Chains A and B, each alone.
Chain A
Amino acid sequence: MIRREIPNWLFIGLAVAGVVVLLVGYELLSVRQTRINPKQTTIPSFEKLAEGVKRVFAKQGLPENPKPAMFWQDMRATLWRLFVGLSIGVTASIAIGVLMGAYRWIEAPLSPVVMFLSKIPQTAMMPIYFAIAGTDQKMFTSMVALGIFFSMAQAIYSAVRDNVTDEAINKAYTLGASEMEVIYEVIWKQILPNVIDCIRAQIGPALIFLIAAEWLIGDVGVGYQLRTQSRVLSMNVVFVYLFVLGILGVVAEYGLVWLRRTLCPWFEGN
């Protein structure tokens, strides 16, 4: 029967089995590939993967002038670019989205533009962003910020328009709230869970833009390393990075869900 509960132990058991099947399947593929070409690096064995882990964490630079391991250099660069880009993009889209939802005279000129631009796949806009933003740190952050801005502004604008009722706003006015108070106390608090969900939805696309940009012009970062290592066929390093990206995605997902539950407990179950 659809949605019939199964016992917890069975659920956990099956979850573990899923992961085990994945790992065994991987190992089988690796063995098969090795039989075809004993020197293959395409699907590295677990032993080779361990070497990859060792390599990405190995100290770089000379003993008298040590540099952080490749992994930390890349992660620091990519996560910093992501953080700054997301912060700018999210802040700007919240400001514009809320204003559009609050004031008709802002909504009127902006909504067709934002609606139109949010429908163009942002990866297709990359050549334009490259031309505008140059090739330094600024370029990576603007890539992320611009990449998420239009669709997120559109989503927040819709949330304000659809989720904040006229009654709530009128009630606040009746109770003597100023315009700023209505925006903060009524609109902002009402849409906060939508904003958090928007960020959750945008982290993936943001990473796509960032990795694509690093792939093309980076000299440090996850995208740069993925391209360089796949060209020199160190797939064991590539797999380590992919695994970490997966883990980071899971962590970000949990973190934001936790944040939403903590900040907006009233929203659960909606």
Chain B
Amino acid sequence: MKMRYRLNWLMASLACACLTGIGCNNSKSGNGASTGGNSTAATGNTGGSSSSKPQTFTLAWSEYPSWSIFGVADEVGLINGKAGELGSIEKKHNVDIVLQLAGYDACITLYGNSKADAVCITNIDILGASSSRNSVAILPTSTSAGADACIAGGVGSIEELAGKTTRGLEKSVSQYAFERCLEKLGKNPADYPFSNMDPEQAAQAFQGKDANVTSIMVWNPFVMQSLRSRTDAKVLFSSDSIQEEIIDMVVVGKDALDRPGGKAFADAILETFYAMNKRMADPTTSDSTMIGIGARFAKLELDDMKTIVQQTKFYGDPKVAKELFASEKFQKETMPLVSKFCVKYGLTPTPVEISFGDAKGVMEFDTKYLDAYVASQASGAAGK
């Protein structure tokens, strides 16, 4: 009996240890292979793509100003985030977009492990993910222009911060911004310790005047909340000094783009994003859209959202978005810096091959979909 007891435990423990990992990883989202036949059949149909069964694609997104747009687009009916239900843009492109809302980290894990076809992510974190999945950035949504900030309480200047630990998300966009801003200010990042803490928890600890958390590097809405709840809180530096370096984007797996309907999915994502930007620009819908985003994002009021949108500059114009991806600075300076950061902190073991428009890289920045959107708008206008 003793023997049996022991072995049972051994087996149970082994099984638990291994199954924890396997259980949540063994199926793949959006089964393209089994539905491939449908679209082939439909190509002979003169009715065009709208008569074939729409393919399903999943977008993993977290609440952030230029990404919460997708949540609001679902609310206003442009797209429908549920599987099997279509909004107006989904109907037009004959594709079923499934919105998967999760925390920022969780989105990266979902995407990297092929549980989502596309993800809302920054140009820093995507390099880590692209080393396990070939990726294409199809749309820059915004750049951080003050939305990532180092906030300190009881620390008067950057000189005083030296030697004091700043808390924020390690090996991620926060740490990148922290180091780059210091470099820009002529400081050596090695003199400024940085230690991991979840941004939300760090902001809460800071707001609660935790003696161990005197300075934090976080993103919005935590920046705004922290400044508001502590009168002695001060922004020491922010991503305002490194504009167009931190890019918030939508990235799609190369495998997903190659699946039937992949291009339609990318087109629909772009159309949704720009349609929502138009709503924000249009005086009749602007406030309600902003309020919608603010409510989703962090229960913010209109005035706060106006500040947030200044600190997170939207790429509301596809031509500006294209200029960014095509610019010398982005290709020759920003991405190599990001790549260096990723190797330094072990996000990628070796530099990731990055390419711009020739599809050679593991990580590809492609303006093809932006071009297609601009062209479709032009022909749409001509048609009228």
Binding site for B on A (CB under 8 A): 8, 11-12, 15, 18-19, 22, 25-26, 29, 33, 36-37, 39-43, 130-131, 134-136, 215-219, 224, 227-228, 230-233, 235, 238-239, 242-243, 245-247, 249-250, 253-254
Residue B99 interfacial (CB < 8 Å): no
Q: Are A15 and B7 in contact (CB under 8 A)?
A: yes
Q: How far is the CA of A44 from the CA of B230 in the complex (A)?
A: 46
Q: How far is the CB of A156 from chain B (nearest CB, A)?
A: 24
Q: Which residues of A contact B204 (CB under 8 A)?
A: 130
Q: How far is the CA of A222 from the CA of B22 in the complex (A)?
A: 19
What does the 1/0 interface line of B272-306 toward A look like (CB < 8 Å)?
A: 00000000000000000000000000000000000
Q: Enumerate 15 A-B pairs (CB-CB under 8 Å) in ascending A order.
A: A11-B3, A11-B4, A15-B7, A18-B15, A19-B14, A22-B15, A26-B18, A33-B26, A37-B132, A37-B255, A43-B22, A228-B171, A232-B171, A233-B129, A250-B13
Q: Which residues of B contact A242 (CB under 8 A)?
A: 17-18, 20-21
Q: How far is the CA of A110 from the CA of B303 in the complex (A)?
A: 50
Contact of A250 among B10, B195, B196, B197 (CB under 8 A): B10
Binding site for A on B (CB under 8 A): 3-4, 6-7, 9-11, 13-18, 20-22, 25-26, 28, 105, 108-109, 112-114, 125, 128-129, 131-134, 167, 170-172, 195-198, 201-202, 204-205, 208, 210-213, 255, 346-347
Q: Which residues of A contact B109 (CB under 8 A)?
A: 230-231, 233
Q: Are A246 and B16 in contact (CB under 8 A)?
A: yes
Q: Are B133 and A246 in contact (CB under 8 A)?
A: no
Q: Are B212 and A43 in contact (CB under 8 A)?
A: no
Interface centre among A43, A232, A247 (most CB of B within 10 A): A232
Q: How far is the CA of A125 from the CA of B112 in the complex (A)?
A: 32
Residue of A nearest to B15 (CB): A22
Given contacts A232-B171, A235-B21, contact A134 B112 (CB under 8 A): no
Q: Are B212 and A136 in contact (CB under 8 A)?
A: yes
Q: How far is the CA of A11 from the CA of B1 in the complex (A)?
A: 11
Q: Are A216 and B201 in contact (CB under 8 A)?
A: yes
Q: How far is the CA of A41 from the CA of B18 in the complex (A)?
A: 15
In the complex, besides A12-B7, A216-B198, A219-B196, 9 extra interface pairs with C-beta distance below 8 angstroms are A40-B114, A42-B132, A43-B25, A217-B202, A232-B128, A233-B132, A246-B17, A249-B16, A250-B9
Q: How far is the CA of A245 from the CA of B11 in the complex (A)?
A: 14
Residue of B nearest to A225 (CB): B196
Q: Are A22 and B170 in contact (CB under 8 A)?
A: no
Q: Are A135 and B201 in contact (CB under 8 A)?
A: yes
Q: How far is the CB of A230 from chain B (nearest CB, A)?
A: 5
Contact of A8 among B3, B108, B167, B196 (CB under 8 A): B3
Q: Which residues of B contact A250 (CB under 8 A)?
A: 9-10, 13
Q: How far is the CA of A232 from the CA of B132 in the complex (A)?
A: 9
Q: Are A219 and B14 in contact (CB under 8 A)?
A: no
Given contacts A15-B11, A36-B28, contact A217 B21 (CB under 8 A): no
Q: Are A243 and B132 in contact (CB under 8 A)?
A: no
Q: How far is the CA of A235 from the CA of B113 in the complex (A)?
A: 9
Q: Which residues of A contact B18 (CB under 8 A)?
A: 22, 26, 242-243, 246
Q: Which residues of A contact B10 (CB under 8 A)?
A: 15, 250
Q: Which residues of A contact B21 (CB under 8 A)?
A: 43, 235, 238-239, 242
Residue of A nearest to B25 (CB): A42
Q: Which residues of B contact A15 (CB under 8 A)?
A: 7, 10-11
Q: Which residues of B contact A37 (CB under 8 A)?
A: 114, 132-133, 255
Q: Which residues of B contact A18 (CB under 8 A)?
A: 11, 15
Q: How far is the CA of A25 from the CA of B16 in the complex (A)?
A: 14
Q: How far is the CA of A231 from the CA of B17 in the complex (A)?
A: 20
Q: Are B25 and A233 in contact (CB under 8 A)?
A: no
Q: Which residues of B contact A218 (CB under 8 A)?
A: 196-197
Q: Are B3 and A254 in contact (CB under 8 A)?
A: no
Q: How far is the CA of A216 from the CA of B108 in the complex (A)?
A: 17
Q: How far is the CB of B74 from chain A (nearest CB, A)?
A: 26
Residue of A nearest to B26 (CB): A29
Residue of A nearest to B172 (CB): A231
Q: How far is the CB of A235 from chain B (nearest CB, A)?
A: 7
Q: How far is the CA of A245 from the CA of B14 in the complex (A)?
A: 10
Interface centre among A25, A231, A246, A254 (most CB of B within 10 A): A231
Q: Which residues of B contact A230 (CB under 8 A)?
A: 105, 109
Given contacts A11-B3, A235-B21, A242-B20, contact A217 B131 (CB under 8 A): no
Q: How far is the CA of A243 from the CA of B132 in the complex (A)?
A: 22
